[in-house]
Structure 1
Amino acid sequence: MRRVPWWIPALVLLATVAQLAVAQWVPGIERFEGKAFGARLVAYPLLMLLAPAVWWVWARRRQADAAPYGAFTLVMLPFLVDVTGNSLDLYDAVVWWDDLNHLVNWFLLCAGLGLLLCRSVRPSWAVVVLVTGLGAALAIGWELGEWFTFIRHGTEADAAYEDTLGDEALGTLGALGAGFLVARSVSRGAAGPRRA
């Protein structure tokens, strides 16, 4: 992956936190009501910074390459996309937005995680399986979080089962696409420049 400067993931984090702050503290914006933006204001930045924090701890123990800011950006982008979708009221205004969101966000998240985790995984099919499995597990975890936060005592319980299955399937499909992309990237990196 082409080198990405440090300020790109920082900008993604800042844009996400700014929108979360507006959602939490600016009164009277109906589209933000009942969507747990107080919890998101804490959880999203922590989740966005988890991969960079783990990488920095790991890099300090080893002589690692330059920081993978591109991978960090990919991991952070789904949170920005989710919050921006709420800010622009896309979840209510565009009927297919939630489905597209699950597919694309899991692709981005799993591509970033795959680039961080799979540099030395061989063969390529193992990379695809690992990234897809990780994405499926994360999709299940996300849906459990949504159920706990929004559905169990909310008004969406009637359609929750079908929506949850669809979201998990789309998340896993996005992870599969990311798995193929990461496998291709890893195999190109492993080949490296040929010596004469």
Structure 2
Amino acid sequence: MIRNFLRPPHGAAEWAADAVRVLALLSVVAAFVWWEPTDAGVLALVLPGVVLPRFVGVHPLFDIVYSLVLLVAAWSNVFDLYTGIWWWDIAVHFVATGVVAMMAYLFFARLGMLVEPGSRSFTLGTSLVLCTALGLAASAVWEMVEWLGKTYVSSSIFVAYDDTIGDMAVGGLGALVAGVLLRFLPLGLRPPGVLMLGSPLETKHS
């Protein structure tokens, strides 16, 4: 995965994906300067997430969508959209958990722990069950992070039983839909140092 991370971008989509990562870093700085340190902390949590696609070696278009969704989720907290728009929390949990579940599956597939998408043994059932499980696990972890934030960082963070259960249920549904998409979208992992179109990178030999 280190080779994927160090590989220079090729094509407009890969450059755009890296631009989103730069935007995520600038967002942390902007939140620290013009908003609250806690807002900067929330945005900082996004940074490992948007760097992960670089290590995994995913399709650049999915890289862009995934990273933008994480950024929107974080900025929504800064602008209080979760409490200002009644359906926003539901929509973000649905979409964000879905893309996180897909990325988690691709990450474990890169490690050789799960069947790689596009292979013969990668069935719809496999994708549905594992993506849903990964999404529910991610939802549970996020709710724990929210509880820790409310308990030890800021009492303004909203945590309630009904909200927690609802968020996990919506996230699980988003992960289920992600399982369908992962099965049928061409998101197979590229070999390290290989372009998404399948042509080897040009290398210089001394």
TM-score by length of 2: 0.68
The 1:4/1:183 distance shift into structure 2, 3 A limit, reads: farther
Unpaired runs of 5+ residues, structure 1, are: 57-66, 189-196
Amino acid at match of 1:40: V
Question: Is the aligned partner of 1:160 residue 2:160?
Answer: yes
Question: Is the aligned partner of 1:39 residue 2:41?
Answer: yes
CA distance in 2, matches of 1:106, 1:41: 17
CA distance in 2, matches of 1:42, 1:122: 34
Q: 2:64 aligns with which of 36, 56, 73?
A: 73
The 1:4/1:151 distance shift into structure 2, 3 A limit, reads: farther
Specify the alignment match of 2:142 in structure 1: 142
Unpaired runs of 5+ residues, structure 2, are: 1-10, 110-115, 189-206
Q: 3-state SS of the aligned residue for 1:154? A: coil
Amino acid at match of 2:39: F
TM-score by length of 1: 0.71
**How far does residue 125 in structure 1 lie from its aligned partner after superposition?**
0.8
Q: 3-state SS of the aligned residue for 2:23? A: helix
**How far does residue 82 in structure 1 lie from its aligned partner after superposition?**
1.2
**How far does residue 126 in structure 1 lie from its aligned partner after superposition?**
0.7
Specify the alignment match of 1:82 in structure 2: 73
Specify the alignment match of 1:61 in structure 2: none
CA distance in 2, matches of 1:162, 1:76: 28
CA distance in 1, matches of 2:63, 2:185: 16
Contact 2:21 2:47 in 1 (8 A): yes
Amino acid at match of 1:20: V
CA distance in 1, matches of 2:124, 2:49: 28
Q: 3-state SS of the aligned residue for 2:148? A: helix
In the alignment of these two chains, the number of paired residues is 168
Specify the alignment match of 1:127 in structure 2: 127
Superposition CA RMSD, Å: 3.0
Identity of counterpart residues, as a percentage? 27
CA distance in 2, matches of 1:88, 1:38: 12
Contact 1:9 1:69 in 2 (8 A): yes
Specify the alignment match of 1:184 in structure 2: 184
CA distance in 1, matches of 2:53, 2:29: 22
Contact 2:102 2:182 in 1 (8 A): yes
The 1:70/1:186 distance shift into structure 2, 3 A limit, reads: closer
CA distance in 2, matches of 1:183, 1:148: 35
**How far does residue 104 in structure 1 lie from its aligned partner after superposition?**
1.4
Contact 2:46 2:74 in 1 (8 A): no
**How far does residue 113 in structure 1 lie from its aligned partner after superposition?**
4.0
Contact 1:71 1:113 in 2 (8 A): no
The 1:39/1:89 distance shift into structure 2, 3 A limit, reads: closer
Q: 3-state SS of the aligned residue for 1:6? A: helix
Amino acid at match of 1:99: I
Pairing of 1:55-70 with structure 2 (within 5 A): 55=56, 68-70=59-61
Amino acid at match of 1:25: V
Q: Which has the higher helix share?
A: 1
**How far does residue 155 in structure 1 lie from its aligned partner after superposition?**
5.1
**How far does residue 187 in structure 1 lie from its aligned partner after superposition?**
11
Pairing of 1:3-18 with structure 2 (within 5 A): 5-18=13-26
Q: 3-state SS of the aligned residue for 1:5? A: helix
**How far does residue 162 in structure 1 lie from its aligned partner after superposition?**
0.9
